[in-house]
Every structure is written in C-alpha cells, then in structure tokens.
Structure 1
C-alpha cells in the first residue's frame, strides 16, 4: 500500500527528531528508507513544508520520493492536490495529523493514518531492522551439504575419510 506522508507533521511526532534540526528531513527519510526496505516494493511519497537554501533537495531513492513545497500552505495544498489526483484511492494511505488534509483524503476514499501512530510503527521497524542486522552479523556462515561434498571432492578427500 503506497504512503503519502505529511513530512514535517510526522517529524513533530518522532522522538529524537526535531523540526529545528538542520537535517531533520534527511533523518526522517533515512528512517523511511529502512521502513521501505522491510516492505519491498512499498512506494512512499513524503512532502515537506519548504526547502531551505543550501539544503539538499534530492533525498529521493530506495523507495522514497521527497517533495519540498515553497511554504507550509503550499505543502498542504500540494498534499491535497496529490490526494485528488490519486487514481486508486483505496490503495493509498495518507499519514498526517492535519485535519484539512485528513478530510480531503477521507472524502476521496483514501485511508488516513495519524502521524503519531505511524511514528511508533516507523520506530519499531527501525529497531526491528537493527536487531535483524545484528543477528545476521553474529550468525556464522553455514555451508550447504552439497558445498561440503564439492570441497571434499576438489581436495581429494573421499566420502568416509572426513568423518573421524
């Protein structure tokens, strides 16, 4: 299910992220990329209120598309225009706590998920991914039985010689 996210609205709900941080958008996008990685094929569009001079405008990639509006009003209008342009509204979810955006989504038949609830999901996904990466790093690499047989054949060991 594709997501359309009210970016700064979500940042305000994320523990450890602050709208005053110079790289708050990049930090959120990194979390969204991890979330998208756990849900292969997930499309995420995040709209931020405004771009800052000198700020990297190209944060797109790994399943996340970023849009920077010129002002907070432009961002709300941009989100509403995007909602109205969705061709399959039942397939999309809008993440926001803004009433006007939520009403536009509901009127169009798009599911709405509160930013605070999605923030919890996003943090749980990031924690889960870190645990999985640690477990994978600690797991010893295991050779397949066929690999072992091939190695024994290549190095001249006969079938019964390695069992002692």
Structure 2
C-alpha cells in the first residue's frame, strides 16, 4: 500500500526543538528513514517547495522517498493529484493531521490515518521485526530429519511380522523346494553331451536306365555278354 506523508504537518507536530527549519527537517528525514528500515516498510514524504525558484525535486533516503513540490504547488495538492492519477486510489494511505486534506483524500477513495496513529503502528511493526530477527538469530540449527518411511515399506514390514497361515507356510516351503530343485537341475543339464544328430536316411538311388538298343537282337546280345562276364 503506497503511503503518502504530509511532510511539514509531521514536522510541525513533533518538533523537539526550535532550531533552523532545514536542520529540523533533515533530522526528521533521518529518523523517519531509520524507523521505516526497522519496520520493513516504504513511504513517501511530501514537502512544499522550499525555494520559489527551484523546480520539483525527488530523492531517496533508504526506503523513504522525499518529494519537494514544484513552484506554486503545495504538498496537499501534490498528494491529491497523485491519488487522482492512480487507477486504484483506494490503495493509497494518506498520513496527515490536516482534517481538510484527509477529507478531500477520502472523497477520492483513498484511506487516511492520523500522524500519531501511523507512528504508533510503525513503531510496533519495527519492534515486531526486531523480535523476529532476534528469535531467528537465537534459533538452534535445525537437524535434518530422516526421510519419511513410505507407506508401501511400512506395509511390507508389518506383513513380515505377521505369523504365516498354514496355506502360506506350505506355499512358501513349496517355492523354496522348487528353487533348490531348479538350482540342482541346471548344472546336471550343463554336463550332458549335446544331443546326437539324427542320421539322415540314405536317399534311394535310382536304377540306372538301360541304354536304348537299335534292335531286340542287340539287346539280347548285350545281356548274354554281361552274364558270360559274371560267370567268369
């Protein structure tokens, strides 16, 4: 929420001495910036132009933005113009003890608060932040927690602790016996020689065809000669 502070209204409300105006203003700026730093807040303080020949100026002191208005423009007019130019005027908070300025700001939908109330709230916020920082410094180092046990692992552990039923006992014994049988069977199979290949059946040879003869007499002559040769 943007905070717009009526600068001289704040200064004249809480002047602690009657010194030179410039020095008192600088003291107030330093104190205000320090308070905002402790409270982790930001704000804009607006002052009337300090010189008739000096144009509007803007500067920063930490998280405090400092505005000096242009010649002939009062701080009230600058604050109201800033609110009017905003698309969301309800977000603005005007800090002032000037009832007239507060009323005009509320007509523009901005929120207002008195200087005393705003200072009290800011001081409380600064004290709260200081306490939080102190607790953070004094906080013992955190010890890394072991990773949470997954639900599945917890279920498996619980199932292991449960006594086995008769059916589960025999099933477990059968599985163990089967694993042992397989472990013995595999080495024995490895020792056995490879299966002997089946002998191929001999392919029946075709009978040689008898040569063709020119005549029946030539064929019989050829048969007679073979028989005579076999009888020798």
TM bucket, shorter chain: 0.5 to 0.7
> Which structure 2 residue ranges, 5 or more long, are not aligned?
52-57, 147-232
TM-superposed CA distance for 1:117, in Å, is 0.8
User: What is the total number of aligned residue pairs between the two structures?
Assistant: 137
Pair member with larger Rg: 2
Taking the aligned partners of 1:22 and 1:60, their CA distance within structure 2 comes to 11
Q: What is the aligned partner in structure 2 of residue 44 from structure 1?
A: 43
Q: What is the aligned partner in structure 1 of residue 101 from structure 2?
A: 101
Q: What is the aligned partner in structure 1 of residue 66 from structure 2?
A: 66
> Which structure 1 residue ranges, 5 or more long, are not aligned?
147-164
TM-superposed CA distance for 1:23, in Å, is 2.4
Q: Using CA pairs below 8 Å that are at least 6 residues apart, which structure has the higher relative contact order? A: 1
**Aligned Cα root-mean-square deviation (Å):** 3.4
Specify whether residues 77 and 50 from structure 1 end up closer, same or farther in structure 2 by C-alpha distance, changes over 3 A only: same
Specify whether residues 58 and 51 from structure 1 end up closer, same or farther in structure 2 by C-alpha distance, changes over 3 A only: farther
Scaled by the length of structure 2, what TM-score is found?
0.48
Matches within 5 A, 1:149-160: none
Specify whether residues 17 and 130 from structure 1 end up closer, same or farther in structure 2 by C-alpha distance, changes over 3 A only: farther
Contact 1:51/1:70 (<8 A) preserved: no
Q: What is the aligned partner in structure 2 of residue 122 from structure 1?
A: 122
Contact 1:10/1:119 (<8 A) preserved: no
Q: What is the aligned partner in structure 2 of residue 152 from structure 1?
A: none
Specify whether residues 140 and 17 from structure 1 end up closer, same or farther in structure 2 by C-alpha distance, changes over 3 A only: farther
TM-superposed CA distance for 1:61, in Å, is 4.7
SS of the equivalent of 2:74 reads: helix
Q: What is the aligned partner in structure 2 of residue 132 from structure 1?
A: 132
SS of the equivalent of 1:83 reads: helix
More helix by share: 2
Scaled by the length of structure 1, what TM-score is found?
0.64
